[in-house]
Structure 1
């Protein structure tokens, strides 16, 4: 079983019944328990980790999530590895798989004493996006819940071209990441109209990446086409890092 929170898991008021003698908790009860150690955790974060396959709670016939003690321990492990060691979800998943097999997980990097800088944050954010968003498909209500936003906000994001549904009306993992970031920026007073410059810059960067990978994508060899996708991801990573470095340098040069 995965190492859990610092305190033993002993819910005072179980919500949702039992499974084989185990107390099952609602997502709200899990949130209340985890916030003792992880004040920043939200319900949308728990749902996101579920979408990434890092925890698999039961579902009642009406669709409500019910978490076992093992589920809560897994969530705490994931949150701790992100907070203390800045591990991407792919690496955390490898740790969990090793633990489930009864093996020792890979050695951890030392805990950081301070929040990572813009470059590290950019790498971490893009790493989560690249590894965990493929296959994610959300309806409109699910996207709003994950981004902690309202329908009017989403409509405004769509009007500025920041977020767009797919042909089936659903939203993919990249749209989820964009929505969450736009929502976070909104808390600092940055409105969608302020983000048009970022959208335009992203479109120019996309055009540059396409110039490099388009010939590879048209190749008949499947390996060459796969190399094109890997190259596109690498160029995206370098682009994010360059942008973060430039912003950091510009802010430091201000009086």
Structure 2
């Protein structure tokens, strides 16, 4: 499978996955596609399931790549089965989260493992919206990204980190987006399909580089805390 085929296979479950994300996972040693004589990547169905495993662990468990890599080594050794990570003993239940006053009912949200059924509630949604951390779509609906934010905010709440504490993080993110927009804007302004495609790829690459930079900073600082 070509990289475009892999993205197409993952699109329904992971619509935000990009070319640069797959390249990053390869750089980290989580997947190893073969190369053709011309240097093009080719993925097997097993590679795709391996990538899916990584993405699920990141989305559902918020595990760092180092831990996921250890899980993959267990998978390679036959200690766990693909699609049944050792970190998950059951599928999370799904229940509704109420939107702020005047909004439509949001999409269902699956709680993080071990999270009480009532922990993600209207108060959390309202607090995140008020802090500017959560931005519902038209009609107050919550999409997949919003549910990920809710899960993470709920988990952070167990450590006493409230929506108001996340406001500065969102403000810093807005500055990063503005910086990326400056780079991408000249490409977006061009009319050719090639330029627009390059704009999409550039935006993905900058986003992934920002994520890697943040991860490196956090690893460094958290190590000092520990």
TM-score under structure 2 length normalisation:
0.51
Displacement of 1:159 in angstroms is: 0.4
Structure 1 unaligned segments of length 5 or more: list them. Answer: 1-50, 54-84, 88-93, 99-104, 110-114, 123-137
Number of the residue aligned with 2:203: 232
In angstroms, what is the RMSD of aligned CA positions?
A: 3.9
The change in CA–CA distance for 1:223 and 1:173 in structure 2 (over 3 A counts) is farther
The change in CA–CA distance for 1:86 and 1:106 in structure 2 (over 3 A counts) is closer
* Bigger relative CO (Cα 8 Å, ≥ 6 apart): 1
Number of the residue aligned with 1:179: 150
The change in CA–CA distance for 1:207 and 1:190 in structure 2 (over 3 A counts) is same
Inter-partner Cα distance in structure 1 for 2:164 and 2:138: 25
Displacement of 1:52 in angstroms is: 2.5
Number of the residue aligned with 1:52: 13
The change in CA–CA distance for 1:206 and 1:106 in structure 2 (over 3 A counts) is closer
Displacement of 1:171 in angstroms is: 2.2
Displacement of 1:119 in angstroms is: 5.8
Inter-partner Cα distance in structure 2 for 1:233 and 1:253: 31
- Deviations 1:102-121, CA, capped at 9 Å, x for gaps: xxx34987xxxxx9984657
Structure 2 unaligned segments of length 5 or more: list them. Answer: 1-11, 15-28, 32-42, 51-60, 69-96, 100-104, 112-118
Instruction: Spell out the pairing of 1:1-255 with structure 2 (5 A cutoff).
Output: 52=13, 98=45, 105-106=46-47, 118=64, 140=99, 141-143=105-107, 145-147=109-111, 149-254=120-225
Larger radius of gyration: 1
Count of aligned pairs between the two proteins? 142
Number of the residue aligned with 1:70: none
